[in-house]
Amino acid sequence: MIDWLQNHLIPCPFKALTGIDCPGCGFQRSVIALLQGDFSKSWHHYPPTIPLIILFVTAGITYRFPINKNPFIMKMLIIAVGNFVLISYLVKMLALVKH
């Protein structure tokens, strides 16, 4: 299954058009590395993978089982993960400019 996933990655349309990585480039390879149990390689490909997975699972659970009517925790999680994605992208772009 993992070999099939590695050979069928969805190309990034933003990168195809501009030649620049988008804020999500590396997510697919990072998830594949997580499935293989290689956390270091996953972090190298795309650091926000684990926080995004936590966000997706939390959103799915709260959508399916509305435990709390107060969406404060979900909003804070979205803001935290969004900031992590943004900071990770900025660090990646600054590293490319230095080279």
Q: Could you tell me the pLDDT band of residue 22, with boundaries at 50, 70 and 90?
A: very high
- Report whether pLDDT(89) > 90: yes
Hey, where are the domains in the chain?
2-98
**Mean pLDDT, rounded, for 4-24:** 91
Of 45 and 62, the one with more pLDDT: 45
What DSSP string runs through the chain? Answer: -HHHHHHTPPPPHHHHHHSS--TTTTHHHHHHHHHTT-HHHHHHH-TTHHHHHHHHHHHHHHHHS---S-THHHHHHHHHHHHHHHHHHHHHHHHHHH-
pLDDT in tens, 48-77: 999 999 999 999 988 888 777 778 888 999
